[in-house]
């Protein structure tokens, strides 16, 4: 058996962490059993089938366990014995801070799915001008939702983000949450539209929205309601987040 280590250094912590979340969560659902599981190491680490990912500071390591003689189940079992210890040791030796980028650190921890963060290095929700930010994936009993956090250098920049969101087709400004809020429907490709409510708290814009990965076209209203938060429930969670940000 051999172990291959591919170590990349990125221009920023955000770039390295963004790629880590792309490799571990990507466009999938972190609650899915096929998603890599969280292990100890560096700033964040994950174990897949025969491979592992390790992030710290500007570094991302992709570690692969190779043994062509083994079937998948045996490969999984053998790699589970070797890789977690190696990842932990490497994680302690890599330079750089293990702390998450500010937007990822701003996400609430309660009810977050393990490894449930995706960091977008360009524009959140693909909205031009929204800028980079993080999504957290959450589960409360059967209900699923996401929280977005977009951290800017100052209040004016955060106000600009909210203004950009407010200009989207169908977006409506809401009252009574944080320093201004906006409700909008977001659609990606063929998947059903998701409802989002965003609000600003100082220089951070937070959003609470539906989990697109559990919705499908043709769902009944009851099926949809079982898996999503109502507008009022989203607003209540958003109010809580903007008044008591994650520490």
Whether residue 84 sits in one domain with residue 113: no
- Whole-number pLDDT of residue 167: 95
Whether residue 134 sits in one domain with residue 47: no
Whether residue 123 sits in one domain with residue 239: yes
Going by DSSP bridges, is the β-strand pair 37-39/44-47 parallel, antiparallel, or unpaired?
antiparallel
Whether residue 32 sits in one domain with residue 123: no
pTM of the model: 0.93
- Whole-number pLDDT of residue 189: 79
List, in order, residues 6 or more apart from 75 with CB less than 8 Å away.
Answer: 49, 50, 65, 67
Query: Contact at 8 Å (CB) between 207 and 151?
Result: no
The pLDDT tens digits of the residues spanning 211-229 come to 999 998 889 999 999 999 9
- Whole-number pLDDT of residue 50: 92
What domain range includes position 188?
102-243
Beta bridge partners of 3: 65
- Whole-number pLDDT of residue 130: 93
User: Of the candidates 63, 93, 123, which is a domain's last residue?
Assistant: 93
Q: What is the CATH number of the domain that holds 166?
A: 3.40.1000
User: Of the candidates 68, 93, 118, which is a domain's last residue?
Assistant: 93
Task: Give counts: helices (H), strands (E), the chain.
Answer: 6, 12
CA distances from 132 to 18, 26, 103, 193 (A): 10, 15, 8, 21
Question: Domain total for the chain?
Answer: 2
Residues of the chain with pLDDT under 50: none
- Whole-number pLDDT of residue 70: 87
Whether residue 119 sits in one domain with residue 52: no
Runs of H (alpha helix) within 25-177: 72-93, 102-105, 155-166
Whether residue 118 sits in one domain with residue 34: no
Q: Which residue has the tokens 């980079």?
A: 132
Whether residue 193 sits in one domain with residue 88: no
User: Of the candidates 47, 67, 93, which is a domain's last residue?
Assistant: 93
List, in order, residues 6 or more apart from 45 with CB less than 8 Å away.
Answer: 38, 39, 52, 53, 54, 55, 87, 88, 91
- Whole-number pLDDT of residue 72: 86
């Amino acid at each position: 058996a051999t172990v291959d280590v591919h170590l990349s250094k990125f221009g920023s912590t955000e770039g390295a962490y963004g790629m880590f979340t792309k490799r571990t969560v990507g466009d999938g659902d972190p609650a899915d059993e096929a998603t890599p599981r969280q292990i100890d190491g560096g700033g964040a680490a994950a174990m897949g089938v025969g491979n592992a990912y390790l992030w710290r500071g500007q570094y991302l390591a992709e570690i692969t366990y190779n043994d062509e003689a083994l079937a998948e189940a045996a490969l999984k079992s053998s790699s589970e014995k070797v890789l977690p210890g190696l990842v932990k040791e490497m994680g302690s030796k890599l330079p750089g801070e293990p702390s998450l980028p500010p937007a990822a650190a701003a996400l609430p921890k309660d009810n977050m799915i393990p490894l449930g963060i995706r960091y977008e290095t360009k524009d959140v929700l693909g909205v031009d001008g929204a800028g980079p930010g993080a999504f957290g994936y959450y589960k409360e009993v059967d209900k699923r939702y996401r929280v977005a956090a977009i951290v800017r250098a100052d209040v004016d920049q955060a106000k600009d983000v909210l203004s950009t969101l407010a200009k989207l087709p169908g977006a409506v400004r809401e009252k009574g949450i944080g320093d201004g809020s906006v409700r909008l429907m977001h659609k990606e490709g063929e998947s059903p539209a998701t409802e989002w409510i965003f609000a600003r708290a100082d220089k951070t814009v937070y959003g609470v929205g539906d989990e697109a990965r559990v919705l499908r076209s043709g769902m009944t209203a009851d099926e949809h309601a079982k898996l999503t938060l109502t507008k009022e429930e989203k607003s209540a969670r958003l109010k809580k987040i903007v008044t008591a940000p994650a520490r």
